[in-house]
Amino acid sequence: MNQIVEIITTSINELIRTTIKGIPGILAAVIIILLTKYAADFVSKLADKIGKTAIKSYSLQILLAKTSYVLVWVAGVLFAGVVAFPGLSLGDIIATLGLSSVAIGFAFQDIFKNFLAGILLLIQEPFRINDQIIVGDYEGTVESINIRTTQIRTYQGERVLVPNSTVFTSAVQVRTAFNYRRTDLGVGVDYNTSLPKAKAILLRTIYEIEDILENPEPEVDLVSFGDSSIDLIVRYWTAPSQAVVRRIQSETIMAIKSAFDEANINIPYPIRTVYHYDQQEFNEYIPHASNGSKEYANHR
């Protein structure tokens, strides 16, 4: 019994001595982690300044700053681990990471996938910060491309976080990729209208609107014979921003309506003809007396 008590006492004393010996290393590791935070912020800001000076692409500037930040943190954590556990060498850490890489990969595959997709988006630049894009059901302005998500501000003032992997593998419509963008505006005139006159009025009206570009030139096409109208499409080009497109479209509609009213050109609405039959005079069907079936006809 005394031997068991002695063994337990010896083990506890050894554990206490080991803990006391490890306290300086643990404190040093905590200090290193705190210093790493400030170092990562400093290096990130420095990389951002260098990137703005040496790199024209805003996306690559962001990538340089984010990569520098992550690398400093990785180096700081590894160094803190070595200091906290003196018996653990850098080779042991690398070997441990190698053995556990498969498990980590399965556990964090979505994070790694989004991280790599974010890096590729920043490098390839299919769109840039402040571009207006459509991804799936979401449309808005790109505010940032983070490690895991692409942040979009919708036109309704809502924030949408789309996983980078979804953005990278989906069809993305970049509405501000070029310096101008076309709007197709449908309009109909009645069948009594002189089509050359209507086309001339539309072109003159479009050219009078200030923010519509003259190059590429606006166009008016006759597209179809509708049920109640002859249909035309007015095609014009403006700056690509959604706010500009919507404002000019409203101005164009008002201008066309005013010009047509002045020229006595009607914009028809659908017309339906309804026939009413006298149910006493017309029968929809004649019941068959023998088998009860109904023989359809238009009898008087």
The pLDDT of residue 86? 66
The full DSSP string for 43-86 is HHHHHHHHHHHH---HHHHHHHHHHHHHHHHHHHHHHHHHHHST
CATH architecture classification, 127-174: Roll (2.30)
Distance CA 4, CA 40 (A): 51
Straight-line distance from the first to the last Cα atom of the chain, in angstroms, rounded to the nearest whole number: 120
The domains of the chain are located at 2-107, 127-174, 181-262
Distance CA 83, CA 23 (A): 11
Contact between 206 and 261 (Cβ < 8 Å): no
Q: In a 3-state reduction of DSSP, which class is residue 228?
A: coil
pLDDT in tens, 228-267: 899 999 999 999 999 999 999 999 999 999 999 999 998 8
The pLDDT of residue 106? 55
Radius of gyration of the chain, Cα coordinates, nearest whole angstrom: 37
pLDDT in tens, 4-57: 656 666 666 565 566 566 577 778 778 888 888 888 888 888 888 887 787 776
The pLDDT of residue 253? 95
Does residue 27 or residue 105 have the better pLDDT?
27
Q: What is the mean pLDDT of residues 115-137?
A: 88
Confidence class of residue 299 from pLDDT cuts 50, 70 and 90? very low
Give the chain's mean pLDDT: 81
* CATH number, domain 181-262: 3.30.70.100
The sign one gets for the Cα dihedral 173, 175, 181, 182 is: positive
Q: Residue 164's CB: how many other CB atoms inside 10 A? A: 23
For residue 255, give both structure tokens: 């201008």
In this structure, what are the phi and psi dihedrals at residue 68, rounded to the nearest 5 degrees? -60, -40
Distance CA 241, CA 142 (A): 13
Distance CA 119, CA 67 (A): 9
Cis preceding-peptide flag for 216 (omega within 30 of 0): yes
Confidence class of residue 205 from pLDDT cuts 50, 70 and 90? very high
The pLDDT of residue 17? 61
